[in-house]
Structure 1
Amino acid sequence: MTEQSPVDLANRDPNDINAHVGVNFEDVFGEPESFHSIDCVWTNSYKCFTCTKNCCYKILSLLCGIFIAFCWGCEFAMIAFQHIWHIGPCYKVCMINLGCAQKFFGSVMQCCLAPVCEAMGMFFSNIKVENK
């Protein structure tokens, strides 16, 4: 087993797999030039939105995050187990058997169909077309 690298607490989505989820106040609300609310309403709305979003996420992740991570860990372990112990060997058996079938049908085609195609090619190669 390899030693796991420490968790990066600064960059928690290094592969940007959830970049589409990043929602900020500016992504949801926007006042055009012709409509502006009072500055204190706009500022406090920003604070309320951001604080509520962050607090709710932290509470939900505190209550559910570890259990959900446990479930997904089990799920991916089962998938790996299936691929290693079932799907991989079945695939190998299938490829071995299909390899034999491929050789058999290839030989049949070489023996039966190739001479017919070669004769038809010789027949049609002697046709001359003249444009008048």
Structure 2
Amino acid sequence: MAEQQQEVDLDRRDPNNLNESSQVAFEDVLGEPETVHSIDCVWTNSYKCFTCGKNCCYKFMSTLCGICIALYWGCEFAMITFEMVWCCTPALKVHTIMLGVCQRFLGTCIQCCLAPLCETIGLCFGNITINKK
């Protein structure tokens, strides 16, 4: 079956809230207590500088590195998927089959050898009574 190409949602870029912890706003980082306030123009310009610096730096770094990093992670997950499909899952199936045979073999040995022994020991010691005087 051909893979359907999805459109990228440019509005909701984190629909699963993967990066909720890194959503940092000015109010999350800086705050003046009620008893001490800087001059209003300092506070408003600090807000603008913080927001602009954060946004510009993020856009610069994502432009510079984002495509290469996305390519790396795409390849990394492709390798993991390849390993699971072609190596791990078949190996697990082989071990399941082989250990299933071992389980039946050991179960038969225990039923034939150990079960009668345990039953005999149980019969020998089952009739012991202790009398207290």
TM-score, normalising length from structure 2?
Answer: 0.85
2:103 maps to 1:102: yes
Matches within 5 A, 1:25-104: 25-104=26-105
Deviation at 1:5, TM superposition (A): 2.0
**CA RMSD in angstroms, aligned pairs only:** 2.1
What amino acid is aligned across from residue 75 of structure 2 in structure 1?
A: C
Deviation at 1:2, TM superposition (A): 2.3
C-alpha distance in 2 between matches for 1:124 and 1:14: 68
Unaligned 5+ segments in structure 1 are none
C-alpha distance in 1 between matches for 2:59 and 2:98: 54
Deviation at 1:66, TM superposition (A): 0.8
* Percent of paired sites with the same residue: 60
Q: How many residue pairs were aligned?
A: 132
Q: CA distance change for structure 1 residues 111 and 62 in 2, over 3 Å: closer, same or farther?
A: same
Deviation at 1:104, TM superposition (A): 0.9
C-alpha distance in 1 between matches for 2:52 and 2:131: 85
Q: CA distance change for structure 1 residues 122 and 14 in 2, over 3 Å: closer, same or farther?
A: farther
Q: Encode CA deviations 1:79-121: one digit per residue, 9 max, x unaligned.
A: 1111111122111111111111111111122222323444455
Q: CA distance change for structure 1 residues 63 and 124 in 2, over 3 Å: closer, same or farther?
A: same
Q: CA distance change for structure 1 residues 38 and 124 in 2, over 3 Å: closer, same or farther?
A: farther
